[in-house]
Amino acid sequence: MTASPPADGAPRTVRALPAAFSFEPWTTALVMIDMQRDFIEPGGFGESLGNDVGHLAQVVEPAKALVAWARMRGLLIVHTRECHRPDLSDCPPAKRLRGAPSTRIGDPGPMGRILIDGEAGADFVPGLEPLPGEVEIVKPGKGAFYNTSLTHVLVSRGITHLIFGGVTTEVCVQTTMREANDRGYECLLVEEATGSYFPEFRDATLAMVRAQGGIVGWTASLSDLVRV
Ligand code: C5J
């Protein structure tokens, strides 16, 4: 017989690595990183860099389940999008010019200008849009704290714990989690709800996060989390 979950607001503990992770829903936020068409669908930024975006398709349904659980539990939900202003004034030339992509940030593509706010590609994949009352953070960098209001959002709501999902694990998810860890947040990464164009990088990131007694934070499976 499965035990019924504790009443709303009660502290919860989920099986995790390197040890159990405890949190209170009212002081915990879900941070869903960059579940955007530009990274997940063909024709966007991710594919322009030569990546096989098919690797990220499997993240969408677990990410939806994670968001649904967070809504049901009453967590603050923060959705981030990585993109730039149409005039590219917040895009460092080093970011735009590096490498040999098929199209660069700001160039036209099948989903509009690549990685530009307001274009279809920079939008959330269907089913992962914020609901009214949830927070949307538009970020120019890989980390969600750089040049955004995220610190203010979290401090003003008394948030101490962060649960992470999104893409890509070793780039924007890991960068943001490390930024959060340095700011004193207790961070948990949900294994099935994050993905990479390089599955081995995802696995390595999960291992790095929880190594050395949780040097960056914890990892847990979605199935364990949605039970608490
Ligand atoms: C990348 C991201 N990979 N959201 N962005 O450039 O991880």
Please report which helix (H) or strand (E) contains residue 175, including its range: helix 174-182
Q: Is the pLDDT of residue 4 over 60?
A: no
Residue-level pLDDT at 2 = 43
| Tokens (6 digits) for 71 | 């809504």
Tens of pLDDT, residues 159-203: 999 999 999 999 999 999 999 999 999 999 999 999 999 999 999
Mutation probe of ligand 1 site: the residue of 51, 115, 168 with most atoms within 8 A of C-beta: 168
Q: How far is the CA of 27 from the centre of ligand 1 (A)?
A: 27
Nearest atom (ligand 1) to Cα of 33: 4
Residues classed as catalytic: 34, 139, 172
Q: Does 171 contact ligand 1 (Cβ within 6 A)?
A: yes
- pLDDT per position as a tens digit, 142-160: 999 999 999 999 999 999 9
Q: What is the 3-state secondary structure (H, E, C) of 145-159?
A: CCCCCHHHHHHHCCC
pLDDT of residue 7: 59
**Range with the poorest average pLDDT among 8-12, 23-27, 100-104, 133-137:** 8-12
pLDDT at 5 over 70: no
Report the run of H or E that residue 39 belongs to, with start and end: helix 37-40
Residue 79 alpha carbon to ligand 1 centre in Å: 14
Which residue CA neighbors atom 2 of ligand 1 most closely? 172
| Count of beta carbons in the 10 Å neighbourhood of residue 57 | 12
- For residues 140 and 146, the answer to whether their CB atoms sit within 8 Å is yes
Q: Are 228 and 200 in contact (CB under 8 A)?
A: no
- Is pLDDT at 1 greater than 90 in this prediction? no
- Answer whether 115's CB lies under 8 Å from 172's CB: no
Residue type at 153 in one-letter notation: V
Please say whether the beta carbons of 186 and 164 come within 8 A: no
pLDDT greater than 80 at residue 222 = yes
Q: Calculate how far, in angstroms, residue 115's C-alpha sits from the geometric centre of ligand 1.
A: 11
Among the listed residues 153, 119, 121, 161, the one whose alpha carbon sits nearest the alpha carbon of residue 136: 153
DSSP states of 43-80: TSHHHHTT--THHHHHHHHHHHHHHHHHHHHT-EEEEE
Query: pLDDT per residue over 89-144, tens digit each?
Result: 999 999 999 999 989 999 999 999 999 999 999 999 999 999 999 999 999 999 99
